[in-house]
Amino acid sequence: MKKILIVEDDKKIAQLEQAYLEMSGYETFCVYDGVDVEVEAEKNQYDLILLDLMLPNCSGHTICENLRKKTDIPILMVTALGESVDVIRGLGLGADDYITKPFDPAQLVARVKAHLKRYERLVGKAPEKKEELPESKITVQNVCIYPENWKVYVDGKEVRLPGKEFELLLFLARNANMVFSREQLFERIWGYDYESDAATVSVHINRIREKIEREPKKPKIIDTVWGVGYRLNN
């Protein structure tokens, strides 16, 4: 049974999230104070974290940044409607996605299922029928990507790309020299429509560039094709 850590200071919202997730077959645990999150996350092995941004005693952004240094599991931010700046900052600190309050509980469960499924497939925990031999390595300029063990090396040194960053880079590498719009990338990697998809994709592209480009502000590997989208150059 998958375990989900719910981080939410509003107990009514936390109980709502907990009820719907448990009805869907997940095991959950709630934390209501920001200072307890990292201790709980280290003490128990969770498969996904639902993280509210507005927490007492410690901000959700700080928690997200600290968690991302220690784990690659999906982190979904829960935020109030209209906090676009906070959302972009959270994505920049390593969150995989976000959902706004008030939210449809069914949408929350669907979003959780999608991220868990993609994460399992990415790290090889989910069984899949494979008729072809798995890729051992994809090389793009000075970057080596190992799909089987979820590792990326730049100039021979390993760099850490969590969840969606790795999946986005892998997709672009498998389709090198092709241009994709932000909407196409969002649909392919996140798998559902969302009004702020452009910001989500752009933030993740910038984070990838910071890790694989020699000059992130003058990228040579992942180009921005103005007015269209992005292209990975092989």
Q: What's the mean pLDDT in 104-110?
A: 87
Angle at 78 between CA 185 and CA 10, to 5 degrees: 170
CA–CA distance, 199 with 155 (Å, rounded to integer):
29
Does 165 share its domain with 210?
yes
Does 101 share its domain with 18?
yes
Does 158 share its domain with 116?
no
Does 16 share its domain with 89?
yes
How many structural domains compose the chain? 2
What is residue 14's predicted lDDT score, i.e. its pLDDT? 92
pTM, to two decimals? 0.69
In a domain, 182, yes or no: yes
CA–CA distance, 186 with 197 (Å, rounded to integer):
6
Q: What's the mean pLDDT in 140-155?
A: 90
Does 24 share its domain with 97?
yes
What is the full DSSP assignment across 156-183? TEEE---HHHHHHHHHHHHTTT-EE-HH
Single-letter code of the amino acid located at 69: K
In a domain, 129, yes or no: no
Domain boundary at 76, 98, 123, which?
123
Single-letter code of the amino acid located at 116: L
Where in the sequence is the domain holding 44, given as residue range(s)? Answer: 3-123
Q: What's the mean pLDDT in 126-146?
A: 70
Does 70 share its domain with 163?
no
Q: In the structure, what pLDDT confidence band is assigned to residue 56 with cuts at 50, 70 and 90? A: confident
What is residue 120's predicted lDDT score, i.e. its pLDDT? 81
CA–CA distance, 142 with 123 (Å, rounded to integer):
23
Q: What's the mean pLDDT in 162-166?
A: 84
Q: Which of 148-157, 176-185, 186-195 is least confident?
A: 186-195
Single-letter code of the amino acid located at 71: T
CATH of the domain at 77: 3.40.50.2300
Tell me the H-state helices in 53-196.
60-68, 84-92, 105-123, 163-174, 182-189
What is residue 130's predicted lDDT score, i.e. its pLDDT? 44
Does 11 share its domain with 82?
yes
Cβ-contact 75, 95 below 8 angstroms: yes
The DSSP H or E segment spanning 209 is helix 197-212
